[in-house]
Each structure stands twice: as structure tokens, then as C-alpha cells.
Amino acid sequence: MKKIKTAIIGAAGYTGGELLRLLLHHPACELVYVHSNSQKGKKVTEVHPDLIGETDLIFTDIVQTEGIEALFLGLPHGQTKGFLEKHVFPNNTVIIDLSTDFRDESHDFTYGLPEVNREKIKKANKIANPGCFATGIQLALAPAISRNWVKGTVHISGITGSTGAGKALSETTHFSYRTNNVSVYKLFTHQHLKEINQTFVQINPEFKEELLFVPYRGNFSRGIWITAYFPFEGKLQDALESYLEYYKDSPFTWVSETDIDLKQAVNTNKCLLHLKKEKGNLVIYSAIDNLLKGASGQAVQNFNLAFGLEENSGLSLKSIAF
């Protein structure tokens, strides 16, 4: 198999590290270089010691543009635009950006949620990877939005692990704050709401309902749990059948007829969904790994689609279970 010459820009953080772990073992990928300004000259295994014995790569601050067929951008939010203005890659290079910089439809990037935009992604060479909360919420509600079931406010709560805040320490990410603690942030104003609404309008141009989202910081490392609900007059079985039909061709989004828990999704590229009908509401649980289906795993899924590979190539990962 001819391997795709690939580079990662910003490979020292959590998402960059996950990309490294996935791409080093991807059957169609040749990692040409990994870039980091802060870690230049260091062995990758000094920064990501779990990769000892798996790579001899050294971080570089030199950006090679020619000959790169796939480029993953793991830069902090707000830095990707400037990077691409400074470093021009060939038109046929597939660029997958994991920041917020190109997720809005005013840019020429395709929004990389495969369950909604699979055919567009297959033809794209600029892909904006969705946000982690955005992924969990959109997959929880997309079938309902498509069938115009939502006729009023949608209530959503979501809790994320500490890795969702990135590797740089802040007051609310260090151990002494997070352990044995839960807190709310960005009440009703989370930045992912913009891309979520954009997708829902794409799915159903008539959609205009309010999404009231309460995000929580969790006292665990990784994973996202979403609970969403709205008034629903239909039967649970009909909703279940509609969800199963909507995701029948999606290799990573699974609708479970039994209760789910977060550990079933952690360390996988899956989104697990479970539906309930309670007190006149359709309730949807959604569980993903914020670093995989919410970031690097979904980026590799988009890489696979863009290069005509099997969608699950390099992503057959097992949950940690315990």
C-alpha cells in the first residue's frame, strides 16, 4: 500500500499526542515530521513517553510544505489562520484543522462531521474538525432535528474531562481544583453552540429553536457525557427506529437499546447513544471520548474519507472498560 505523506503541526498537546498515537499505527500513513515550537529538538518520546519503542521522530520547528499530502493542524484556537497565511501548502494537500478557526460556513473549509457531511468530506481538501461538545450534542440530536420533532427549547447538559481544557495549566484545570469537584462554566454561551446551530440549520432549514446548554467541568481525565431532552409526543419505539435508520451507515455512532455509561466510549472513536421517553420528553444520552471522537479520532476518520480509505481504518480501538 502506498503511504500518504503526513505532517502534524502542534503535536505536543493532548490532541497532538493522540494524533501521533493513531497515525504511527495507521496502515496508510507515513509521518514525515511532527512540528512544535515549544518542543523543537526534543525526541517525541520525551514529551509523549508512552511512545517509547514506537518512534524515533524528533520535534521540529521547520515547516516543510512540498511533498506533504495530508496536514493535521493542532494549533491553539486563533492561531491556524495566521499559520496558513504564512505557510502556503500545495492545492492538493488535504488540510484538517482541529481548532475553531474555520468551523463557520463563511470559510472554504468543509465541516467535518461525517455522520452529516460524509459525501462532502470525501471530496474536500480543507476540513474543519468539529468541537468535542459539538460532536456529542449534534449526534444526540441530529435525527430529531432532521425529522422536525423539536418544537421548542432543547435542554442540554454536558460534562467533560480535564483533558478537554488542553495541556496548559490554569486555575480550573490543575489537580487540586478538579479532584472531588464539579463546576459550571460558560452557562448558555459555550462557543460550540455556533457550529451546532449551523449544522442543525443545514439539516433542517426551518430549525430556529433555542438550545440551553449547561457545560460542566468533570473530575476525571477524559470523556464527555451529554443529556439532551425536549417535549415529544411520539412513541419511544418510533424514535428508536428513526435513530437506528439515521445512523445505519455510520461505523462509529451506535444506538444502544440498553443503558450506556461513559467508559464504554472512552479510548474509542465511538459515539454511544441511548433514548428514553420520560414525562412527555424524549431524552437522549450521548457518550464520546473528547480526545478521540471529539478531536483526533474524528480527524483521522476525516482523513480516511478524504483519501478514499475505509472509514474505520486505524481506528479499531477498544474501550478501557475498567
CA–CA dist 214, 226 (Å, integer): 10
Q: What is the pLDDT of residue 169?
A: 65
Among all chains, which residue has been given the C-alpha cell 495507521? 26
pLDDT more than 90, % of the chain = 90
Q: Are the beta carbons of 9 and 37 closer than 8 angstroms?
A: no
- Return the CA Rg of the chain: 19
Running DSSP on this structure, what letter comes out for residue 85? H
The pLDDT confidence band at residue 94, using thresholds 50, 70 and 90, is very high
Enumerate the domain spans of the chain. 4-129+295-306, 132-288
Q: Are the beta carbons of 87 and 63 closer than 8 angstroms?
A: yes
Single-letter residue type at 126: K
Pick 4-129+295-306's CATH classification: 3.40.50.720, 2.60.120.40, 3.40.50.1970, 1.10.760.10.
Answer: 3.40.50.720
Convert the pLDDT of each residue in 207-246 to its tens digit.
Answer: 999 999 999 999 999 999 999 999 999 999 999 999 999 9
Q: What is the pLDDT of residue 136?
A: 98
Q: What is the pLDDT of residue 170?
A: 74
The count of other CB atoms within 10 Å of the CB of residue 22 is 22
Q: What is the pLDDT of residue 178?
A: 83
Least confident of 19-28, 38-47, 94-103, 175-184: 175-184
pLDDT more than 70, % of the chain = 99
Query: Which residue in the list 22, 132, 139, 315 is annotated as catalytic?
Result: 132
Running DSSP on this structure, what letter comes out for residue 301? H
Looking at every residue in the chain, the average pLDDT score rounds to 95
**Contact partners, residue 144, CB within 8 Å, separation at least 6:** 150, 230, 232, 239, 282, 284
Is 90 exceeded by the pLDDT of residue 321?
A: no
Q: Between vectors from CA 134 to CA 187 and to CA 252, what angle results, nearest 5°?
A: 145
CA–CA dist 129, 269 (Å, integer): 14
Q: What is the pLDDT of residue 280?
A: 97
Convert the pLDDT of each residue in 41-75 to its tens digit.
Answer: 999 999 999 999 999 999 999 999 999 999 999 99
The pLDDT confidence band at residue 171, using thresholds 50, 70 and 90, is confident
Pick 132-288's CATH classification: 3.30.428.10, 3.40.50.10190, 3.30.360.10, 3.30.230.10.
Answer: 3.30.360.10
The pLDDT confidence band at residue 253, using thresholds 50, 70 and 90, is very high
How many helices and strands in the chain, by DSSP H and E?
A: 9, 13
CA–CA dist 47, 39 (Å, integer): 8
CA 157 remoteness from chain centre: 18
Mark whether 132 is an active-site residue: yes
Convert the pLDDT of each residue in 97-126 to its tens digit.
Answer: 999 999 998 789 999 999 999 999 999 999
